[in-house]
Structure formats: structure tokens, C-alpha cells
Structure 1
Amino acid sequence: MKYFECLPSDAGKFISQLADVREVRLRNGKPIRLNVGGKWFWLGKNCLQTSCLGALNFQSVCDEFVKKACNQSVYAYEKMLAQGFFTMSDGCRVGVCGVMGANGVFQQYTSVCVRTAKYHSCVDVALNNSFIVAGPPRSGKTTFLRDFACKTSAFCNVVVVDERGELSCCEGFDKKSFCDVFRYTDKKYAFQVAVRTMSPDWIVCDELSQGEISLLENAVTCGVKVAASLHASGVEEVRQKLGQAVNVFNNVVLLKQDTFIQTVQNLTKTSKQLTNLA
């Protein structure tokens, strides 16, 4: 299901016709706000407005959106929702907040943030060895890794470690790829089992944290190439976060927010900028 199909019908139909929608923000009883082409607008009746005056608003839009996006089976998504987000089949990442019950389950959703999937085509020639994809939020790191995993799985054994269900849960992933997927399992378990039992050429994972860097080091020591993403604004920040593990990675792919510019840089050599790769 597409994200705009979960919106009130008139709003969803209009938004579906817009190009380059990057983010949609819903709040109960308040106007819908959209980021289109890097600029913010309010949703009017079949138009975009720079003012919220007269903009459309819907009283229970958040609860209704979540129910539709979860195929009317919100209980099946409770574990993910309790973490504040879930991923739709079209690759959109949906963040939620609201009233949490004593059992750790949302009783009401009051705000929803829909981040649409930005497509970045991977640069095959630059990614023959282990690499990090770095960039700020909304720069397209997850979709870049997803594309890389799909393409590489055609000629290599690729294991995807998808701890939060964001890399592999989008529509068509299983049909387009030949990846072996660990879904909703922690990285430590998945890396250990993958290296020991699945004989991977590559392991691909998302959202690398400081405590997980050693897992990638161990995999590389065992002869496995790794690809992961990291929140960082530049090469120096990547080096700082990786520490001694910087030697594990040959390249860093830097993505910029709201653009399709990619800089592929060897962590010890000069950089090469590539544009219009989407």
C-alpha cells in the first residue's frame, strides 16, 4: 500500500500527483504539512499553501492513517510502534507519537511523520569492498543500501541484517533480490549466525551504533565484506565514530540531504563526486 492511500481520500489523491514529496506531517485537528522539493507547504483544497490559513485539517487523521497503513491489524505492528516507528510496504518510514498506555502500547496516535523513500542508485564501481554510507537523516542511506543489496545479490551471497524491518520490508524486495534476510533480530545474533552458517560474501545492515562496530570488524576478519550506514555529516566525523575500525572500510559514500549528490571517498585518499545518480 502506498502512503497516500492511507490519507483522507481528497488529500491522498492530490498528494499522489505531486512530484518529489519528501515528508508528510499529520497532527490531529491541524493542517497537513508537506515537504515538497525541499520546501514546506500546507495542504489546501487541491493546492499547496505557504500559509496555514484555510488549509485542510482532519480531526482523527493520525489514528486513521496508522490503521490503514497497518492493514487494519495494528496489533501485528505493536512491537515496532512501541519503538515509535514502522516501515510501510512502499519503503516509507512512519514515525508516530501519542498517548502511551501502561502496557507499552499506544492508546492514541496524535502525530505522524511520513518520510518517503528517496531512491539512490548505488555506484557499482566504487563499492567492490567494504564501505560505509554516511549522511544526515532523510539523505537516503537506507534506500541506497537496499538497492546495493538487491543488485549485489544477483552475483554474490548477500545477508541482510534488518533489525528494524526497514531494509527488506518494502514492496517488491523479496521478488527483486536473492538476499538471505535476518529480520527483527538484533545485530549481534544475526552477525554471529550469518558468518557461521550462511557463508556470505556480503553482510548489509542499517543504522550502525558505536557498540556494534566490533561485529563488523569480526565479520571482515572472517573474510566477509560489510556495508552499513552511519549518521555523520562528513569524512572526519566518520573517522571519529569508527575509531580504529576505520581500517575495516575502504570507502565512505556521503549522501546529502535533499539532493541526489553522492561523494564516494576512500577513507585515506581523495574523493570523487558523482551527481544525478538517482
Structure 2
Amino acid sequence: MNMEERFDRIIEPITETIKQHLRRIPEDIKRQTQEIRLRTGRPVCLYCNKGIYFFSRAGRILCYPAEEMLTATRDDILETFRAICSYSVYSHQDEIRNGYITLRGGHRVGVGGTAVLQDGKIASLRDISSLNFRIARQIPGCAQELLRQMKGRWAHGLLIAGAPATGKTTLLRDLARELSSGRSGPIRKVAVVDERGELAGTCIGVPQNDLGLCCDVLDGYPKAEGILQAVRTLSPDIVVCDELGGMEDVSAVEQGLNAGVTLVSTIHAGSAEELLHRRPAVRLLETGAFGTVAFLGERSSPGTVTGVCKAGDLLAQIHRNYSSDSGGEPVWPAGVA
């Protein structure tokens, strides 16, 4: 499925008053589009590689805000939200609680609204006010340059770091495809733990995205359970999972490392400095599961690797300075949380 077809697929749940204009946009803009944003009472926006586009009420594409723009009404938001949930909002409560809904094909819709708290934790959302349609992209071969730079070091674990919308999941998807198909070396058995359904885009047991010839998918599994399940039942050479970041993920990674598998994953961090200012990220590196960290570039060029470095070199920035008052503990940079 090409990018134009993916664009047409993701807009299906959107109300006709907005969708009719989205259908008519030029093919080159469809190919560029990364996100479609709907906000109550605000202009409909397309976030593309080269900028942001709006629409006039007549459907003309605008490069800058103007009067009489196409806006999303409250009814547009609510009707689109219900369609995204296949008119069964209750069955999607776990996803909604986490702020997103995954669509067929691995596309994801971020949901904004008012939190409903229960015992201090988010139980649900109400008064939905914004929807962010993020288009899942397949770019075959985009991981080849990274694998070339790695020169086999991926076997010691790889963590891909980048800011939001820089192509982390796209690159991770192609890494799974390259490694499990033998396109960049020997064929490897790859297990993908697809907690949020973004990597494989599985629908009724069939992955909608190409993850290669020798890849098994554990769809919907939490990372810790998925990693252990893969090790117990699938004997993978490599386990791939997306979006690490919390302290609970550190435990999952440690369990996978103890099982003797190579881990490849992603994390939100726009730079080495940002990565090292997040305690969970540092703890992930300290597990020894990731020998190499690859950093991605700007949103305008998704999936572009701007730097590859050893995890040990990053940790050295923290551990080389010790405070006599800290009892031999590393001195953390200011702002580490």
C-alpha cells in the first residue's frame, strides 16, 4: 500500500464535511502528510515534511492561516471519535486511557480531552476536544544505512532515540524487515512485541505491514510479558519493541537481557543531552542491553540517522565525575528526573 492509499485509509472515520476536502488534496501532499489534526473550533491542519497546511471553507489549500478557514466542530470531533472506536467506545477504554487508539494498518490517533481520575489515576477521558491522526509509514530500505554504520554492533543491542515524529517507528519497522529477511546479512529470527499495534498493524491476526520473512508478532502484549513470552515460545535471535521510557520498562529489558536475547527498541529523546537527563533512560543504558544508541534528526526528514555512539561513552559522561559527598555515587546532571 503506497502513501496515497494509506492517507485515504486513515481518513475513512472522519466526518464527510471534512473528509470531502481531504480526499481532493494533491497526491504529492498526501505523500508528505505525517499528521492530520482536528481540534474543536480550530482549523483542520495537515502536518507535512515541508510545513503546515490549512483549508479554506471552499476546500482550497492554504499555506498560512486566513479568515474563513475550514474548522472542526464539536459534532465533527465526537462523530469521528465514535467512528474511530467502531461505535463501541467502551471496548477501547484501555487505549483511550493511554491517550491513543490504534487503527487498522498501524495508524494511531492521539486523543485529547478532560481526564477522569479514579484514585489519582486516569480512568478515562471525557469531553473529547482534539484528535491527531498519525499516518504509519513504510519506507523499505530506510534502515540499510544504519545497519551499514553499525557494522554488526546491533547484535549487542540497539536503542533508537529521537524526538516525536522523527521516524523512530518507521525505522524500527524496517530494521525488523531487514534483519528477518536477510537483506543486510544472515537471516535472523525476529520477534516483535507490538504493544500498541503500530509496528505490524495486525488486523484479525494478519500483519498489515511487512516485517519480513522470519518475523513473529506478539500483538497487544505488554513489553515485559511479551519479551518473556517470545523467549519461552519463539526462540528469537532478536526481540523488537517500541517506545521504552518508564521505570517499568527497565525491568522488562532486564528480564529480556537475562534470557540472552538481543533487544532493539526506541525512546523519546531529541539529543544525547536530553537522553542523559532522564533517569529511566540512563537506567536502560545501565542494564547493558543496549550497546549502541542511534540518534535521529529533524521531523522534516523522518528516519534520518544523524549520529551513532556507544552506550558506554554516553554513560561515561555521567559516571566519570564522582562527588566525595555522594558516597561514590555518580553525579547526575542538573535536571535529571
1:239 CA drift (Å): 5.4
Q: Superposition RMSD on alpha carbons, in Å?
A: 3.0
Pairing of 1:169-208 with structure 2 (within 5 A): 169=201, 173=207, 176-177=210-211, 178-208=214-244
Q: 1:131 to 1:62 in 2, by over 3 A?
A: same
Give the number of equivalent residue pairs: 270
Question: Which of 78, 88, 94 is matched with 1:63 structurally?
Answer: 78
What letter is aligned with 1:205? Answer: C
Q: Calculate the TM-score normalised by the size of structure 2.
A: 0.69
1:27 CA drift (Å): 1.8
Structure with greater Cα Rg: 2
Separation in 1 of the partners of 2:192 and 2:244?
13
Q: Which has the higher strand share?
A: 1
1:187 CA drift (Å): 1.9
Question: Which of 49, 59, 67 is matched with 1:53 structurally?
Answer: 67
Residue aligned with 2:83, SS? helix
Find the counterpart in structure 2 of residue 140 from structure 1.
167
Pairing of 1:209-220 with structure 2 (within 5 A): 209-211=245-247, 212-220=249-257
Separation in 2 of the partners of 1:159 and 1:131?
15
Question: Which of 181, 199, 222 is matched with 2:259 structurally?
Answer: 222
Separation in 1 of the partners of 2:105 and 2:253?
29
Separation in 1 of the partners of 2:109 and 2:101?
5
Any conservation in 2 of the 1:3–1:69 contact (CA below 8 Å)?
no
Find the counterpart in structure 2 of residue 40 from structure 1.
52
Q: 1:239 to 1:108 in 2, by over 3 A?
A: closer
Is 1:161 the equivalent of 2:196?
Answer: no
Separation in 2 of the partners of 1:237 and 1:58?
35
Separation in 2 of the partners of 1:254 and 1:157?
25
| Identity %, equivalent residues | 28
Unaligned stretches of 5+ residues in structure 2 = 1-7, 182-186, 314-337
Find the counterpart in structure 2 of residue 115 from structure 1.
134
Find the counterpart in structure 1 of residue 24 from structure 2.
14
Q: Calculate the TM-score normalised by the size of structure 1.
A: 0.82
Find the counterpart in structure 1 of residue 323 from structure 2.
none
Find the counterpart in structure 2 of residue 273 from structure 1.
none
Segments of 4+ moved more than 6 angstroms: none
Find the counterpart in structure 1 of residue 289 from structure 2.
248
1:218 CA drift (Å): 3.9
Any conservation in 1 of the 2:159–2:264 contact (CA below 8 Å)?
yes
Any conservation in 2 of the 1:213–1:242 contact (CA below 8 Å)?
no
Separation in 1 of the partners of 2:220 and 2:246?
20
What letter is aligned with 2:195? Answer: E
Any conservation in 1 of the 2:107–2:201 contact (CA below 8 Å)?
no
Separation in 2 of the partners of 1:21 and 1:94?
14
1:193 CA drift (Å): 2.6
Unaligned stretches of 5+ residues in structure 1 = 271-278
Moved more, 149-158 or 200-209: 149-158
Separation in 1 of the partners of 2:113 and 2:26?
26
1:185 CA drift (Å): 2.8
Find the counterpart in structure 2 of residue 276 from structure 1.
none
Any conservation in 2 of the 1:208–1:230 contact (CA below 8 Å)?
yes
Separation in 2 of the partners of 1:238 and 1:248?
16
